[in-house]
Amino acid sequence: MIILSVDYGRARTGLAVCDKNEMLASPAGVITEYNMDKLAAKVTDAAREKKAELIVLGLPRNMDGSEGGSAQNVREFARLLGDLSGIEVVLRDERCTTVTAHNYLNMTDTRGKKRKAVVDSVAAVIILEDYLTFRRNNHDSSSRTETQHR
């Protein structure tokens, strides 16, 4: 199944996609958009272009597992995206993905404007890799994740 991963951000939203065999997650770009409705339309376009059958959206939780305002924005975006795209949207805990993405970019010595341009898509790759591992370890498709939206 082709899965599109989304690292939602107020200014920049990173995308990643996996192959049909769910083996390889690759960056699929960054969308710069501040308006949630327009962003949902652009992500929907990307999902259709990539022929995604499922969208995984990173859910920002606090380190103690609680949810703040950012998580509520993501939940709102998930509902909007699911309604607009008609594709199932699964929320996946994204704690520490941006920190991990920055660590990866440090290891590759990616700096400056280039770093800013790719960090969100790298975070989306990390979210997708985590979800793919979850799917491989949980063959029961009814237990995909903690929350699902359509």
- CATH code assigned at 8: 3.30.420.140
> Total domain count for the chain?
1
8-46 pLDDT per residue, tens: 988 999 999 999 999 999 999 999 999 999 999 999 999
Range of the domain at 85: 3-149
pLDDT in tens, 117-137: 567 788 899 899 989 988 988
| Model confidence, pTM | 0.80
43 exposure class (CB count in 10 Å sphere: 0-12, 13-18, 19+): buried
Q: Which residues contact 57 (CB under 8 A, 6 or more apart)?
A: 5, 6, 8, 74, 77, 78, 81, 89, 90, 91, 92
Geometric angle at alpha carbon 137, from 118 and 48, rounded to 5°: 45
Residue 144 pLDDT exceeds 70: no
